[in-house]
Copies of this chain bind each other. A is one copy, B any other.
Amino acid sequence: MSRLDFYRSLAIPGDRRILFMVLDGVGGLPHPATGLTELEAANTPALDALAKSGETGLTTPVLPGVTPGSGPAHIALFGYDPVEYQVGRGVLAALGVAADLRPGDVAARINFCTLDDEGNVTDRRAGRIGDEIGEPLARRLDAMADPEGVEIAVRHVKQYRACVVFRGDGLEGDVADTDSQQTGVPPLDLRARQAGSERMARVAAGFVERARAELGDQQAANGVLLRGFDGYSPLPSLEFLYRLDAAAVAAYPMYLGVARLAGMEAHGVADDPAALVGKVMEMGSKDFVFLHYKSTDSRGEDGDFDAKVAEIEKADGVLAQLAEQFDVVMVTGDHSTPSKMRAHSWHPVPLLIASDNCRVGGGSGFGELACAQGALGHVRSSEIMPLVLAHAGRFRKFGA
């Protein structure tokens, strides 16, 4: 019996509400001057109070030493094995903008780009054009028809980014990126990496050629780069596995996408603490609310220690306004993003679970070192979901 089948066999209904708050990239590394990480340096009364009344630990997102992207990191947080359930970035992007995706469809990400007269890429992001340019370009591509009758939908994502969904017989998603990550060279040819994906590569090549013709009159962007091809097969939903009525609240499409993949009702909001709080407050009928807080990761990627500290403090304020509404509160990150490294990292991530059936950690609050000695110990991110469900009384006893 698979792990998920086993947990599913134990799932029962319940009415205790779960807040599942993800501070993107919250884990960090010590500042050389103080020896404190971003999280340890931040003033976080709400997190510290929950850490002291609840249980803390550290979570490894995928496997020791593995630095995850946002997709697999969230798939793990939602309880799936991220190595078994690999989902391409194209599918996540399409789900993020609520594109109509059916099993068997193939999705890819689009970058609008600029090409010179010889067809060499001059800017891979078309000068980071804004939504007001990108959105109508996506609509023009969406209106094009495929001569072989493949249904092709193009949806704008943000700025210079869009996505495309291909629907038709015999399409498989193992197709290489056309983005060589370089300028001064032409986009790469569409190339199937497996025999079954040859039709997909051909159809995509036709799409790229027609896009070039369609956008030929555009100054801002006259070409497209495709990457992250993947066929869509949905995950077993949280409703199917655990009978959860789950909602997601996030400012960025990518996180709404991965939430939809797990069957959550996804709500996009402005990237602003008040908007996040307000939307979560509207979710009173849901028994599971995934709340995604993005800027902790963004400031880590900027390499700005103090700005990341400030974002953690803002997230703490969000938590302070919401915790009382829930019976079980879980806070962690999808991965670490130490500002020292300006990138995602493999370091385990602080984790807290608070409910009325907790062992108190006696810890010193919510930080990397304190969590390393917490009562939860060291877990894998895919184990957090079952722990949270146990605290919510959503599993019956196994055996008598």
Contact = CB atoms under 8 A, between A and B. Distances in A.
Interface of A: 1, 3, 6-7, 10, 29-30, 35, 37, 58, 62-73, 82-83, 86-87, 89, 228, 338, 340-341, 343-348, 357-362, 368-369, 372-375, 377-379, 383, 385-390, 395-400
B64 A386 contact: yes
Main DSSP-derived SS at the A contact region: loop
Contact of A63 (B67, B368, B386): B386
B400 A69 contact: yes
Contacts of A348: 377
Contacts of A89: 399-400
Contacts of A359: 29-30, 37, 347, 368-369, 372
Contact of A68 (B63, B358, B369, B398): B398
Given A64-B386, A360-B30, A398 B69 contact: yes
From A30, A72, A347, A398, name the one whose CB has the most chain B CB atoms within 10 angstroms: A398
Contacts of A35: 360, 362
Given A63-B6, A67-B390, A375-B368, A358 B29 contact: yes
A346 B173 CA distance: 41
A68 B399 contact: yes
Contact of A372 (B83, B377, B379, B396): B377
A375 B369 contact: yes
Contacts of A373: 372-373
A332 to B, nearest CB: 14
A365 to B, nearest CB: 14
A122 B361 CA distance: 48
A83 B228 CA distance: 37
Given A386-B65, A386-B66, A6 B372 contact: no
A395 B361 contact: no
Given A3-B63, A83-B1, A375-B372, A68 B397 contact: yes
Given A6-B63, A400-B69, A357 B374 contact: no
Contact of A383 (B30, B62, B65, B396): B65
Contacts of A369: 359, 361-362, 375
A400 to B, nearest CB: 4
Nearest first, the 3 closest Cβ-Cβ pairs linking A and B are A65-B386, A65-B390, A69-B399
Contacts of A377: 58, 348, 372, 377-378
B1 A67 contact: no
A7 B29 CA distance: 24
Nearest to A27: B359
A1 B373 CA distance: 33
A35 B347 CA distance: 31
Given A29-B357, A345-B357, A359-B369, A66 B10 contact: yes
Most B C-beta atoms less than 10 A away, residue of A10, A373, A397: A397
Contact of A64 (B228, B343, B387): B387
Given A1-B83, A359-B29, A386-B65, A395 B71 contact: no
A395 to B, nearest CB: 6
A105 to B, nearest CB: 19
A87 B83 CA distance: 28
Contacts of A70: 399-400
Given A65-B387, A228-B400, A340 B368 contact: no
Contact of A67 (B29, B65, B228, B398): B398
Given A228-B400, A359-B369, 11 more contacts: A6-B63, A35-B362, A58-B377, A63-B383, A65-B390, A68-B398, A69-B397, A71-B399, A82-B398, A82-B399, A372-B374
